[in-house]
């Protein structure tokens, strides 16, 4: 199954002030997340962003908060975004049945969110080159478990080109420079 921009929502998971500095390739993950948000904005794809216990881990990093509307940011205490009532309700209101996930930590909140959304009936896609954890072994274990559970692990480029669907459109011309 391909990702479809008319059916998709993007969920950014827990890229926060006190967590990002200890994440493997944290700046790269942040940069790629901002690319995904830019693409979603251009294609009118809803964006949701979670913050795991922001009192302890701080808010989303400044550049991420700048790219989002306050109404798109949801504090949570559950590890799975799918178990957080405000996030589940916002996704339901969007009437989107595909969810594209990125963020941290791959083996905890990303994994549990992916499995939770899958159990709730969503088609789930985890952007494998836009997730990370404190240890690379945790990322590898998360990706293996996701695949074993039948969840699609995709790349940033796969998301962009599947959402675009074709070249030669105004959107393609606007966005092709974001993919390098």
**What's the confidence (pLDDT) of residue 128?**
98
pLDDT digits (tens, 9 = 90+) for 24-49: 999 999 999 999 999 999 999 999 99
pLDDT digits (tens, 9 = 90+) for 44-56: 999 999 999 999 9
Span 104-112, average pLDDT? 98
Domains of the chain (ranges, CATH numbers): 8-120+127-178 (3.40.50.850)
Whole-model pTM: value is 0.97
pLDDT averaged over every residue in the chain: 96
Surface-to-core class of residue 121, CB atoms within 10 Å of its CB (0-12 exposed, 13-18 middle, 19+ buried): exposed
- Token pair recorded at residue 98: 């595909």
Length of the chain in residues, anyone?
Answer: 180
pLDDT digits (tens, 9 = 90+) for 62-99: 999 999 999 999 999 999 999 999 999 999 999 999 99
């Amino acid at each position: 199954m391909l990702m479809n921009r008319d059916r998709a929502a993007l969920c950014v998971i827990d890229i926060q002030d006190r967590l990002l500095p200890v994440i493997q390739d944290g700046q790269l993950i942040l940069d790629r997340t901002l690319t995904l948000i830019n693409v979603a904005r251009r294609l009118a794809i809803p964006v949701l962003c979670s913050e795991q216990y922001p009192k302890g881990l701080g808010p989303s990093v400044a550049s991420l908060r700048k790219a989002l509307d306050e109404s798109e940011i949801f504090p949570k205490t559950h590890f799975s975004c799918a178990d957080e009532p405000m996030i589940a309700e916002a996704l339901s209101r969007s009437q989107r049945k595909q969810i594209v996930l990125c963020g941290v930590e791959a083996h905890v909140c990303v994994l549990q969110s992916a499995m939770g959304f899958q159990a709730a009936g969503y088609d789930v896609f985890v952007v494998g080159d836009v997730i990370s954890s404190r240890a690379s072994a945790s990322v590898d274990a998360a990706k293996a478990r996701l695949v074993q559970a039948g969840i699609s692990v995709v790349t940033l480029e796969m998301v962009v080109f599947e959402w675009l669907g074709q070249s030669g459109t105004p959107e393609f011309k606007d966005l092709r420079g974001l993919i390098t």
